[in-house]
Chain A
């Protein structure tokens, strides 16, 4: 099956710093999503981004499908950004979209 690698696995930032999270995938995909899991376990979709660049406030994401990677940018980080960030890729298999997750990047933003 498709492999999804995320880096770095862990990241500690000072509040206000910027960071870039990377997601590499081993095969062509139909779509890609970035999720944030808060300390209570809730997974929230950040971006649905099969290609191109999107921005939402202090977050932006870029996917280069032809080179099989995606980047998530966090600017001016805040303590509420702490949690685990997952990249998930989708491939259509047998009539449904199979989703494969990376193992995540655990981010801690310290005041």
Chain B
């Protein structure tokens, strides 16, 4: 069965600093990968999705970017963090019509 790893688990960053969150997947190949953000413990907002290496689509305009350098690696980045970037970031995967599986998440606080 597939496993999703995310790190770090928690992160505190100052405004204006860069960001790199990593998601890696085991136990499956060629998955669809997703980055979600959850603010204030409710409501998941889809940020990015990827159907393959180097293929990234963005759902909302924002201060963030994503990359998929390898089939099982998905990275969320920012050059300069904003206060509004605080939240709980979740990586998820599915394959075709399979159910969606979520990683443990990264809790980001921007001060």
Contacts and interface: CB of A to CB of B under 8 A. Distances in A.
Interface of A: 30-31, 33, 35, 41-45, 48, 84, 86, 88, 90, 94-104, 106
B34 interface: yes
A33 B104 contact: no
Contact of A33 (B38, B90, B99, B105): B99
A42 B41 contact: no
The binding surface of chain B is classed by DSSP as strand
B97 A31 contact: yes
Counting contact residues on chain B (CB < 8 A from A), the size range is 20 to 34
Given A43-B90, A84-B42, A33 B51 contact: no
Interface in B64-111: 88, 90, 92, 94, 96-97, 99-102, 104-105, 107
A86 B102 contact: no
